[in-house]
Chains A and B, each alone.
Chain A
Amino acid sequence: MSFITEKIVYPDSTDLTITQTKKYNSIFSGGRLMISEVITGEDNQETEVLVIEQPWKCHPDGSRENFVDETDAAAWLESVKDSFLR
């Protein structure tokens, strides 16, 4: 099972009218979230590049918490995608 997360980024910090949508495909396996960036080439072919191997949720106070299941992992990633995904 996998799920897609999308995030809007601003590639030029001096011009926030320019936006770009980054796409991530995540697989939850063995309690670990494997997050790959989906990159679309000039030929419109999509390739996936592994970016993050995340075994726990990170909370803002510095603490960690294990994922309960894929639903929990997906909800957490969606909630933190703007700060967590680069």
Chain B
Amino acid sequence: MAVIKNIRNAMDVNSLFEDPVPGSNYLYFQSDAYTKDTLAPLYDIGITYTTNGSVISNTFGYSGVGQTAYDKRMSGILQLNGETTHVRNNLFKTADDYRNNLDISPFVSMDTTYRVKPVQYFTDGTNNVVISSYNYNDGTQVNGVAYYGTFPSYWTKINTNAKDLASSGYLSNKQAWAVGSGSNGSGNTANANFAERTLANGYGGTNAWPVYRNPATNNLVWISQVYYGANTPGALIGGALATAFSAIPVNQATSGGVNQNNSGQLVGVSKLDFNTIQIHHAVTFDGVNTIYKYQDGSNSYTTLNTFDVTPFGAGGGGTGTYNLSTSTTLAPLNFSTASWVFSFTATNFVSTFTGTATVFGSVLSVTGVTTGTLATGMTITQIAVNLSSGTTLGATLAQGAAYTGTVITSFGQGTNKGGDRGTSFGGKIPKFASKTFTDLSTASTMGFYVPYIDKNGGFHPLYYRWNQTTDNFTRVTDITMVYPGTTFGSVWAYDTYSSTSVDTTYGMQRAWYTETFVSSSTRYLIFMQLHGAGGLFDTSPSMRTFPTYTIDTSTYKTLTYSGKIEVPATPKNIVWLSDDRTILGIFCHANFYVYTFTSGAGWTQTGNFPFQFNAVGRDSTGRIWAQDTGLGWGRIHLLTLNVPISIVVTSDAASYNYAGTTVTANVTVNAYNYTGSRISTSVKLVIDGGAMTFAGNNLTRTITTSASADTIVPVTITGGGVANIIASAALS
């Protein structure tokens, strides 16, 4: 790792800006140009932001990191043409504060084709536009003036070229913190708010990023989520920049299109009509999802599917043991008719029971029409017979609880208990689904997983299928989880330090996030619990553990535990450092950790940077940039593949027998980068102790390691005792 630059002046421009125009070789530290490939300074070349030369209060970005007070200018530090995450570090170990709210950049797009990047280049083949966007997040106000501190800020440059930003300059700044009023914005777009709750209400508040050009309309569609006072988060159904390739683009968002207390994501783009599809996750109930299609051409939307019932327990034809003693309301029982016959009998009931059992669709509903309890000796027996195998499964309901208004939830063949966990197991919390992937079991279908904790506290991600020939979504709930112990709790614990996240200014201080990735042809799922406060889980290892599962891709319904990341400290947020999501960067309060996944070893920590990073991201060449506070207004770091993260020195024997005659031996030296790959680099070796020397009786030696093989270094044992070899790498 190398410190590239200290930021000496906090200004309203980015610390680092990457020109995204194809062919451009410019990178800007604040406004000074450098070559993108070699980082060579360019004499008298820089970006000119405004016609009067002033960047004060123009919100082009932010090149200070707010050493003391909270700064709402979140996400304006590293403006890279690659995935970047910003993190606030104003507080430590203090829950329930708006300053903990998370940057949702890592999860808000589920489509890897349309990644969230701070700066992007779009073209329709004739015209082009560069858009650099970031977000102000104040988060404190709850009344109509909230937009004064919470709004997106972005600038555009129309029909630019590879050298334009460094020569002609003069960007078009677009911002507004007063909906419908241009008086408070310096740009010519008064309403830059893509997540306004309604114009009639006159307020908004948003995080927004442009991600997709609709070829049918030539609009640029944005992903947006509200960070508005007590309504944090709220999910936007749709927003776009119309006439985007003109000097005066028009912002639009669906009227009243924000779902309060929902987290939202872009699912992808319809193959039927090129419109975008969004999913909203209710913070208030796990498993309650609504899926929308946004028609940006007419600025309207269609509700594709609603999943407004709590997930059933696993079914699929089996039955299991039912526990009425902990149930409270009557609900359907899962039932599959494809290859099973299901029968229901109730015996030994007192005469007051006149319940009925009916089959509706794939669901068997058991309904008691009178109030009563199952007395001792009363049973409800359910038998399921597999028509192909003849296997018979049966279950007897326990006695002792009210049966009218009682939930009867099938354990079924899966392990999901179903139901709504209410405020148990962590309270109400924003959720984010995995990125979509091709479902290998069903033609023309994409799949993804949504976080869900069942009423028994078990992690059973809900599996959604997206039929791309109809844009119809279906949900699978009969998930079988194979935990390392008997329960999910053996590896994971829910957050017990935070208040519930409904109608609060700090509603985005934490999140549950599932993600999948492929390694050696096997798809894996990882589950993360993030908290922006930092520190809270430091003494609770299970809360900072990311369990990982292999996915049976024949059905996508069986997930088997394969390992975990026990993050050394509370994970505040993450950034993916490789497109295949096998390299994960994790922000903690005082450290930034890098983990690399291989199918053989699972997750392995391959980097530990003892810095409090405020932002980490990749540029278009794949280099990893970071900024920490440092001693001034921040330091820009470059993490490159050829910087050693670990150096491993191994002797060819655990001990040597010195009998008065020198012994020749070898040590093996390897250096590894943050991906875990062996690299060639200069390593200095120092022998500590008087019993061993390098060649020529030297106690120090500098070698160059190999990227392809072990590097062997001869040593000579010259006496008895203990000798250590200290290895270090010179960093520039």
Contact = CB atoms under 8 A, between A and B. Distances in A.
B259 A84 contact: no
Interface string B18-33: 0000000000000000
B619 to A, nearest CB: 38
B399 to A, nearest CB: 30
A61 B260 CA distance: 21
Most chain B Cβ neighbours within 10 Å, of A50, A51, A61, A64: A61
B219 to A, nearest CB: 15
A66 to B, nearest CB: 12
Contacts, number: 70
A85 B306 CA distance: 13
Interface in A1-39: 11-14, 22, 37, 39
Interface residues of B, number: 35
Interface in B255-274: 255-260
Contacts of A37: 255-256
Given A14-B503, A53-B301, A60 B306 contact: yes
Contacts of B304: 58
Contacts of A59: 306
Contacts of A51: 254-257, 300-301
A22 B200 CA distance: 11
Contact of B256 (A22, A50, A61): A22
A54 B305 CA distance: 11
Nearest to A35: B300
Given A14-B142, A86-B237, A49 B302 contact: no
Contact of A64 (B258, B299, B472): B472
A62 B299 contact: no
A45 interface: no
A58 B306 contact: yes
A49 B298 CA distance: 10
Given A13-B503, A14-B142, A60-B307, A49 B255 contact: yes
B259 A53 contact: no
B152 to A, nearest CB: 20
A64 B302 CA distance: 12
A60 B308 contact: yes
Interface in A40-78: 49-55, 58-64
A79 interface: no
Nearest to A9: B256
Interface in B230-259: 230-231, 237, 254-259
B655 interface: no
A27 to B, nearest CB: 13
A50 B298 contact: yes
Per CB-CB distance, the 6 closest pairs between chain A and chain B, nearest first, are A60-B308, A86-B256, A58-B306, A62-B307, A50-B300, A60-B309
Given A13-B260, A39-B200, A51-B257, 16 more contacts: A14-B230, A22-B256, A50-B298, A51-B255, A51-B300, A52-B301, A53-B295, A53-B298, A54-B303, A60-B306, A61-B363, A62-B306, A62-B473, A62-B475, A86-B257, A86-B259
17 contacts: A11-B198, A13-B230, A13-B231, A37-B255, A39-B200, A50-B300, A51-B254, A52-B300, A53-B298, A53-B301, A60-B308, A60-B309, A61-B363, A64-B305, A85-B256, A86-B258, A86-B259
